A and B are shown apart, each in its own frame.
Chain A
Amino acid sequence: DAGITQSPRHKVTETGTPVTLRCHQTENHRYMYWYRQDPGHGLRLIHYSYGVKDTDKGEVSDGYSVSRSKTEDFLLTLESATSSQTSVYFCASNTGDSNQPQHFGDGTRLSIL
């Protein structure tokens, strides 16, 4: 979707290094989400935010932290990357109003060697 951009689109890094992925949306959406997608698992929710400085855990939050200092930006941080965190990461956003669907970015492919 045109309103959500993720950066970087691709990254290769080494085990133990910190990594930060950025999601930027121009829709003024209140809610933002981080998912990871792995073969055989579909998309799984890592963390989400329901407003500036308001975040909560998803189903696979261990090893990840997030921050939201502005409505338009949602950062995902891997404090010390592990090979199990090699994945494709997607960001999404929506208004949070009843029956409004989430809109996704095009993902970040992260490889941890």
Chain B
Amino acid sequence: LAKTTQPISMDSYEGQEVNITCSHNNIATNDYITWYQQFPSQGPRFIIQGYKTKVTNEVASLFIPADRKSSTLSLPRVSLSDTAVYYCLVASYYGNNRLAFGKGNQVVVIP
């Protein structure tokens, strides 16, 4: 399973755009890049997923460069409720669907 590397933690002020990076140098051709958000006492919640270039949904954008060895999750205008741990994963959804969670990135939004 491809490994990912993320910063351990980061702080951001309310209302700012937050960009969270993830490195995945050994990503395979069939791998997708998926981001989850986890609040205390809750299970991880799917945010966004992509294969290449840019993906946008109602809560976030995901930027993937051409070499796919990294990705950036962008959260526009964060609020205090966006304080959470964010996990980046790469996984192939062909075969056994196994995911490898790293330690995630603790994002703290400050008033």
Task: Please indicate whether A and B come from the same complex rather than being unrelated chains.
Answer: yes
Interface residues on B, range: 20 to 34
B98 touches A99 (CB 8 A): no
Cβ contacts under 8 Å, A48 to chain B:
96-98
A107 touches B41 (CB 8 A): yes
Among B41, B44, B46, find the residue whose CB has the most chain A CB atoms closer than 10 A: B44
The B interface is mostly helix, strand or loop, or mixed, namely: loop
Listed stretches A14-22, A75-83, A90-98; interface member: A90-98
In the complex, what residue of chain A is closest to B39 when comparing beta carbons?
Answer: A106
Cβ contacts under 8 Å, A94 to chain B:
97
Cβ contacts under 8 Å, B71 to chain A:
none
Cβ contacts under 8 Å, B103 to chain A:
40-42
* Residue B63 at the chain A interface, CB threshold 8 Å: no
Question: How close is B33's CB to chain A, nearest CB, in angstroms?
Answer: 10
Cβ contacts under 8 Å, B32 to chain A:
99
- A58, B42: Cα distance in complex, Å: 22
* Residue A28 at the chain B interface, CB threshold 8 Å: no
A99 touches B49 (CB 8 A): yes
A-B contact count (CB 8 A): 58
* Residue A69 at the chain B interface, CB threshold 8 Å: no
A42 touches B104 (CB 8 A): yes
Question: How close is B23's CB to chain A, nearest CB, in angstroms?
Answer: 16
A90 touches B93 (CB 8 A): no
- A107, B42: Cα distance in complex, Å: 7
Among B41, B42, B49, B99, find the residue whose CB has the most chain A CB atoms closer than 10 A: B99
A98 touches B93 (CB 8 A): yes
A101 touches B34 (CB 8 A): yes
A104 touches B97 (CB 8 A): no
A107 touches B43 (CB 8 A): yes
Question: How close is B35's CB to chain A, nearest CB, in angstroms?
Answer: 10
Binding site for A on B (CB under 8 A): 32, 34, 41-46, 49, 51, 87, 93-94, 96-99, 101-104
Binding site for B on A (CB under 8 A): 1, 4, 31, 33, 35, 40-45, 48, 50, 56, 58, 90, 92, 94, 96-107
